[in-house]
A and B are shown apart, each in its own frame.
Chain A
Amino acid sequence: MGKPAERFDDVPKRARAEATVVLGQRKLLQRLVPGLIHAAIFWGFLVLFPTIVIAMIGAVDRDATLPWLGHQEWFAVLVDVFAVLVLAGVIGAAFIRKVQRPKRFEGSHLGEADLILALIAAIVTTLLLWHATRIALDLDESSPVSGALGGLFGDDRTTEVLERVFVWAHVLIILGFLAYLPHSKHLHIFTAAVNVFFASTRARGHLEPLRFDGPEDDMRFGAGTVRDLTWKQTLDTFSCTECGRCQDVCPAWATGKELSPKLLIMALRDQVFEEGPPLVRTADGFEPSPLVPNAVTDNVVWDCVTCGACVRECPVSIEHVDHIVDLRRHLVMVDSRFPSEAEQMLRDVERASNPWGKPQTERSEWAERLGVRVLEPGDPPPEVLYWVGCAASFDERARTAAESTAALLEAAGVDFAILGPRESCTGDPARRMGNEYLFQAYAEQNVGTLNESGVTTIVASCPHCFNTLANEYPDFGGQYEVVHHSELLAQLVREGRLQPSGDGRAITYHDSCYLARHNDVTADPRELVAAVGEPVEMEKSGKRTFCCGAGGAHMWMEERAGKINEERARQAAETGADTLAVACPFCTVMLDDGVRQRGDDMRVVDVSTLLVESIDGV
């Protein structure tokens, strides 16, 4: 369970994450009220930590305490304030769990959580009461809250006994709590901070490659059993607090499917707890069982669209998508156990170099019609290489974005060319399916073609291509300046090289997961929309966007249960806008399907096409 993972790079960045996410509770505060409640309890415990030592000293020797800190009046005030905050937090948490009962707790161990809240309340209450009795006995200086409580006790024998009772109760409850910790999700207080430190510093859309050179016995083909998990993955499973924020934002769960990121991590954790000990004790001879289907069903693995909403929400930096992809890798590369409709796509990528299975020669047909330059081997490289992507090359609905982008680049006088038949699939669908071997074959091939051509700057109109070229190809020797077409077009508009005119119609923009969440590109496409009409935002927008349903190779897989694309189309229709702007070929096709299936009167159109239509003479 301790397979290697590359997590020791960029220590300064890791330290910063520790400061903001752990100390600053940044991700928890993405939901304000529960975040504040947890922050109160967390910061409270940080401040109250020395009081545990003081209590243990005081339990043994009534008159002893921590040197210096134990005598600071300001510390006693601080303790009082934070003790109250913790209690307030616990009450708030109890209210949320018992009265509001949010759906994200479906599947979590609620009894365990209630016990922990009760223990926390007991710890803080016994602390306050102990201080109160000590103040009443004139052993300590008064402090606001404890002092007020102290008024309940007289300076007498009963109070002397109570002072001993409270301090021992406090210490014993703490010790009991510590003993209980490793058997509950509260283990996170040790593991979470470490997990955050070791979270990936690479772009969110980056997946860690596997290695296929070297002896077969040393090779790792993804996660088949607990033995294959990397140490980071194992740490992930120990850090889960069952908070359910991930479950709440998962588009698969929201449309009635089996996948819940929270339940996935919990199931893996349970398997690690069950099979980890025998595995570690008996080096050979214990065969751990396959994770799929014993811990996790096939449906759960394949329902995922790799949108990353779960990873974004997780306060303890669990990387659910990495787990899913690793499970897929083993299923696809070793077991050949995956949805049959995706098999044709994998065979097509392998044999025809694109997931549509169409001849590569067709890639340049639209370009030839428009007179776009196709870069031949040996030609001088253009200023910008336009990476068209398979969708725009082979699907007629996605093609309009390529045609629009080419027309705009032409009009703005940008020196650009396409690779045409020499552009192979970036390998993204194969990689998200779990076929890392096939992906790497294409990564190496494409990097070879690009490096030979001397290209340094690439613009891509597909966020999946963009993500792979920018974040994943560097692992294979491909370093280029990569921009998304919305970024380049927005820059051209800012520079005045393109002059759109707006007509004030209401346009709502759908953020593509691979653009907004994985790569932080949210402002530029909005600039384009604002230049053409009146932007209207959906509730789930920007980095909180709701997936269109095509990610994770789902463009080629069937959806069981509810339809993610229809749900997003519903969210778009709610804005009342009659134009739905997108910046991704998959989103174009999925949302267009969704709109049609719902019968809405909405036009789904790429930002480049909106721009073209708003400029005279293009």
Chain B
Amino acid sequence: MTVLTLIEHQDGRADELSLQALALARTLGETEGLLVGPGAGEAAAELGAHGVRTAHVAEDDRLSAYAPGGWARCVTDAIERTGATAVVAAGTNRGNEVMAHVAARLDLPFAANCSKAADDGTVTRVRWGGSLLEEARVHGEPLLLTVAPHTVQAAAVNGGEAGVQRFEPGLDEADLAVQVAEHVETVTAGVSLAEAKVVISGGRGVGSAEGFAILEELAGLLDAAVGCSRVVTSAGWRPHTDQVGQTGTKVSPDLYIACGISGATQHIAGCKGAKKILAINSDAEAPILASADYAVIGDLTEIVPAITEELRKTR
């Protein structure tokens, strides 16, 4: 099987999630990469270390700004060039969007957010943000799928250098009808939720908007971002931008501390990407304990300040 993998990249480096997608692609067969947009050439070079034989770089000045239709065209052209029988991308917003466009254009089925795939078209998909798995069979060729974030480990292999082939995609006007017109910078105070190494989240158990003060204090000591569950945003205690969950921000910190959060699947979907989860809860039977690595049982209004103090003492 020849597998084509769409690699997203930024500042000349391939994205972590695309490298994870690549790892799954390699289980299906020989992998070729596809990169689009400015900086693609740079990022292409390092793909050899991840087992990519040939990296195809689509070049067209009109693709300096992201256009989902344009990217989809690059993919369909690359399928023709490589004779790929499977196309894999990362399950990011962009990856899912581009692959859905490809599937619509080719009138083929598309399995989003897979954690496993086999060359006979059977896949395992992630549902409910990760709390449920679906085993399915895809009836169509090429096999189109995206890889659910943090379900597969990226792995470097001794692959030597990847050969880079540049090509010009056959773009037409319709492909560029939807394109980013403007980018507006927003200044975020403090650590961003999506990038923080430590995230401290509060749920119903925190009790009120003021109750978050103790979490903010601990976050200050750890350079952490403060998040919250959907119950908190619905109550108006914190803005939606702080919400961690299936319909909020999905985080992947080294440590995720869930304070007073019961652990609805909605929320778990947002924090499963964390390397380690610590649950602080007064209920020893709360569902979150089934998804956490560590737990402290008790009143978070006592525990969180105690941790803050212990950190200060032992610095």
Contacts and interface: CB of A to CB of B under 8 A. Distances in A.
User: Do A and B touch each other in the complex, judged by CB within 8 A?
Assistant: yes
B283 A340 contact: no
Contacts of B262: 358
Contacts of A397: 282
B283 A341 contact: no
A340 B239 CA distance: 13
A344 B231 contact: yes
Contact of A341 (B236, B299, B301): B236
B234 A344 contact: yes
Given A358-B262, A558-B208, A396 B234 contact: no
Nearest to B231: A344
Given A344-B231, A596-B299, A396 B236 contact: no
B284 interface: yes
A340 B285 contact: no
A192 to B, nearest CB: 42
Nearest to B230: A344
Nearest to A357: B231
Given A358-B262, A596-B299, A341 B285 contact: no
Which of B235, B301, B302 has the most A CB atoms < 10 Å from its CB?
Answer: B235
Which of B208, B234, B282 has the most A CB atoms < 10 Å from its CB?
Answer: B234
A470 B22 CA distance: 64
A344 B299 contact: no
A347 B234 CA distance: 10
Contacts of B66: none
A396 B286 CA distance: 9
Contacts of A558: 208-209
Interface string B203-228: 00000110000000000000000000
B285 A344 contact: no
B182 to A, nearest CB: 33
B226 to A, nearest CB: 18
A152 B234 CA distance: 79
Given A358-B262, A558-B208, A596-B299, A396 B283 contact: yes
A396 B235 contact: no
A140 interface: no
Which of A341, A365, A396 has the most B CB atoms < 10 Å from its CB?
Answer: A341
Contacts of B234: 340, 343-344, 347
A558 B208 CA distance: 7
A340 B235 CA distance: 5
Contacts of A340: 234-236
B90 to A, nearest CB: 33
B131 to A, nearest CB: 13
A397 B284 CA distance: 11
Contacts of B237: 341
A343 B232 CA distance: 11
Interface string B247-283: 0000000000000001000000000000000000011
A362 to B, nearest CB: 9
Interface in B272-311: 282-285, 299, 301-302
Interface in A473-517: none
Which of B209, B231, B237, B299 has the most A CB atoms < 10 Å from its CB?
Answer: B231
Contacts of B299: 596
Nearest to A366: B285
A344 B235 contact: yes
Interface of A: 340-341, 343-344, 347, 357-358, 365, 396-397, 558, 596
23 contacts: A340-B234, A340-B235, A340-B236, A341-B235, A341-B236, A341-B237, A343-B234, A343-B235, A344-B234, A344-B235, A347-B234, A357-B231, A358-B262, A396-B282, A396-B283, A396-B284, A396-B285, A397-B282, A558-B208, A558-B209, A596-B299, A596-B301, A596-B302
In order of increasing CB-CB distance, the 6 nearest A-B pairs are A341-B235, A340-B236, A396-B283, A344-B234, A558-B208, A344-B235
Interface of B: 208-209, 231, 234-237, 262, 282-285, 299, 301-302
